[in-house]
Amino acid sequence: MESLFVLIPLAIVFCTAGLIAYFWAVNHHQFDDLDSAAHSILFDEDHGSNIDPAIAASIDSRSNEPAHQKSPHD
């Protein structure tokens, strides 16, 4: 019974925090456009790489390395 004196106010605090977070998200237009992110994945146009050429070369050189061989000490 004594635990209810802690759990009920704690539940009220969590519900209040959830409502505050929800109304903040609505007021900051977080729910305005839910579909464009999903459609952008399907209709992504490749306009060239935005990666720095030095980084791209580093990635390519790593992918061509042979698999790591265990040394006798491993």
Alpha-carbon distance of 74 to 67, in angstroms, equals 15
More confidently predicted of 46 and 35: 35
* Contact of 4 with 12, CB cutoff 8 Å: no
pLDDT of residue 36: 80
What is the identity of the amino acid at 39?
H
More confidently predicted of 55 and 12: 12
pLDDT of residue 42: 77
Q: What one-character-per-residue DSSP string does the chain give?
A: -TTHHHHHHHHHHHHHHHHHHHHHHHHTTTTS-SSHHHHHHHT-------S-HHHHHHHHHHHTSPPPPPPTT-
Per-residue model confidence as pLDDT tens digits over 2-41: 999 999 999 999 999 999 999 999 999 888 888 887 777 7
pLDDT of residue 35: 81
